[in-house]
A and B are shown apart, each in its own frame.
Chain A
Amino acid sequence: MQNKKWGWLELLTVLAAIMVAVNFYVGLIYAPDPSNLQTEVTRKAQHIFYYHMGMNVMAGLGMLVNFIGSVLYLLTRRRFWDAVARSAAEIGVLFGIGVLVSGSLWARPTWNTWWTWDPRLTTATITILLYAAYLMLRNAVEDPDRQARFAAVYGTFAFISVPITFMSIRLWRTIHPTVFGGGDPAAKGAFALGPHIRFAMQFSSWTFMLVFLLFLVVRVRVALLEERVMALRQQVDAQLSRGAEVDPMEHAGS
């Protein structure tokens, strides 16, 4: 396409790569094993948390950006916002699965089970299914304009239902540890927050926010390329059909 220049996308990529590399050090070596956890296995597994939370940040941002894109598409009708919404939902679902997988691998040593029917796990899964349904809906509608409209409406509903779902689980008790504010005594696997752990958490959040931004930009670029391919295909189709109309005339002339 264009001649490659050292643009801000390349800068973002390099920055994200450095952050990810440093984050390996911060999450695995710099962050101390939390002293209040009983066994060696759970202390080591606690390091998963920095990535668990990172995935969570990405999934959450994906859903938020999907909502923003959906609303802006409905208001402005610019295909760009539809591309943003579509890209964000895809990233949200993918890293939502990452949240579940990393959480499961942490729960096995800590809770002694891969999965429990805990409200927080259940609602997280429902939320991911919500956005999987969003992607399925997109797949099931051919017309691009109609697809964008339906998806934007569904994305709006989906995002607003998430906080209501999280409120509805308060009708239950949870064993999932809460890191920020309010320690439920029933929670299992919670760890004490020292300054080092706090720093590692913040660093991890920032890292994955940057990774999200990078993925979003690249995915939106892919989405715009897809749009361009569609437009070109239509153009070619139009030319071919025009050609077909012209052909018999030419034959009659010769």
Chain B
Amino acid sequence: MRFWSAVWAIFWKDVRAEFRTKDILTGMLVFAILAVLVFNFAFDLRVERPQTVIPGVMWVAIIFASMLGLNRSFILEQDRGSLAGILLAPVDRSAIYLGKVLGNLVFMFAVEVILLPIMVVLFNVNVLMPSVLLFVGLGTVGFAVVGTIFSAIAVNTRAREVMLPVLLLPVMVPVVIAAVKGTAGILDGNPLSEQMGALRLLIAFDVIFLGIAFLTFDYVLEE
């Protein structure tokens, strides 16, 4: 009980602080849309079958936008000096971790809720199918789970913001592959039952890394 109220407290603190200024959220959203537009200039996206390029464009936009959000999640705490305060609280370190993960998840989902309809309009392809949303959801969870703990590591390095993508992207390759492949398969008109390999991989990734993050987060925030 105590554990979950601590999780909730951390989560709610982050969400309330963010909705007061909306700095990160608007930044992430504008960045995601810009990424899609820049993609259009970089590769001509007027292809015959937009289904073939949409999964890639969508995931790159989501990945880079979430990177922005994940970076801020601990940098803000450090700049305000509030991390020390949280660490002094008599709660489990894993509760802090879980609260942070949930906060980051909410921000990422909020961006996706606006980004995906925009993609439908821009490419005239329905990405709002439940099975696509399943892949988006699982992939996002993977990014939040690993990204939150790496963000806590990255803020304590000399390079700070630069460190997070370098650490995060190579670990996230399976999620990127499985999510893009799964999304592409479904947009291609295949049923979800044919994407079970990708789906299973995403679920396994999320569960395994959530477990490891729980085990190791204590070591990251130990001082």
Chain A interfacial positions (CB closer than 8 Å to B): 74, 123, 126-127, 129-130, 133, 136-137, 140-142, 146, 149-150, 152-154, 156-158, 160-161, 164-165, 167-171
Answer whether residue B153 sits at the interface, using C-beta atoms and an 8 A cutoff: yes
29 contacts between A and B (CB under 8 A): A74-B219, A126-B173, A129-B170, A130-B171, A133-B166, A133-B170, A137-B157, A142-B158, A146-B156, A149-B220, A150-B153, A150-B220, A153-B219, A154-B150, A156-B212, A157-B146, A161-B170, A164-B174, A164-B205, A165-B177, A168-B173, A168-B174, A168-B177, A168-B178, A169-B177, A171-B177, A171-B178, A171-B198, A171-B201
Nearest Cβ on chain A to B91's Cβ, whole angstroms? 20
Query: Does more than half of chain B's interface fall in helix, strand or loop, or is it mixed?
Result: helix
Beta-carbon contact of A171 and B219 below 8 Å: no
B178-200 near A? 1/0 per residue, CB < 8 Å: 10010000000000000001100
Query: Shortest distance in angstroms between B70's beta carbon and chain A's nearest beta carbon?
Result: 15
Q: Is the CB of B171 within 8 A of A158?
A: yes
Q: Is the CB of B219 within 8 A of A141?
A: no
User: Given A127, A153, A158, A161, which contacts B153 in the complex, CB threshold below 8 Å?
Assistant: A153
The verdict on A74 contacting B158 (CB below 8 Å), with A164-B204, A164-B208 known, is: no
Query: CB distance A171 to B222 under 8 Å?
Result: no
Task: Say whether B149 faces chain A, with CB atoms less than 8 Å apart.
Answer: yes
List residues 132-160 of chain B with CB under 8 A from any CB of chain A: 146, 149-150, 153, 156-159
Q: Which of A126, A136, A149, A169 has the most CB of B within 10 A?
A: A149
User: Please, which residues of chain A bring their CB within 8 A of the CB of B220?
Assistant: 149-150, 153
Please name 19 further chain A to chain B contacts, defined as beta carbons within 8 Å, in addition to the given A142-B158, A149-B220, A164-B201, sorted by A numbering. Answer: A74-B219, A126-B170, A130-B170, A133-B166, A137-B153, A137-B166, A149-B219, A150-B220, A153-B153, A154-B167, A157-B212, A158-B170, A161-B174, A164-B174, A164-B208, A165-B174, A167-B201, A168-B177, A171-B198
Are A136 and B201 closer than 8 Å at their CB atoms?
no
Q: How many residues of B contact A (CB 8 A)?
A: 31
A171 and B135 alpha carbons, distance in the complex (Å): 15
* Contact residues in B for A136 (Cβ distance below 8 Å): 163, 166
| Chain B, residue nearest A74 (CB) | B219
What's the A-B contact tally at a CB cutoff of 8 Å?
87
Q: Which residues of B contact A (CB under 8 A)?
A: 146, 149-150, 153, 156-159, 163, 166-167, 170-171, 173-174, 177-178, 181, 197-198, 201, 204-205, 208-209, 212, 216, 219-220, 222-223
Known A-B contacts A150-B153, A153-B153; A167 and B216 likewise in contact (beta carbons under 8 Å): no
* Contact A133 B156, beta carbon cutoff 8 Å: no
- Closest residue on chain A to residue B160 by CB atoms: A140
Query: A150 touches which one: B156, B159, B181 (CB < 8 A)?
Result: B156
* CB-defined contacts of A149 to chain B, threshold 8 Å: 219-220, 222
> Whose C-beta in chain A lies nearest to the C-beta of B181?
A171
> How distant is A159 from chain B, measured CB to nearest CB, in Å?
10
Assess the B177–A141 pair: CB atoms within 8 A.
no
| B219 close to A154 (CB less than 8 A) | no
Chain B residues with CB under 8 Å of A152's CB are 219
In the complex, are the beta carbons of B170 and A160 less than 8 A apart? no
Instruction: Note all chain A residues with C-beta closer than 8 A to B153.
Output: 137, 150, 153-154
Residues in B with CB closer than 8 Å to A154 are: 150, 153, 167
Does the CB pair A165–B173 fall under 8 Å? yes
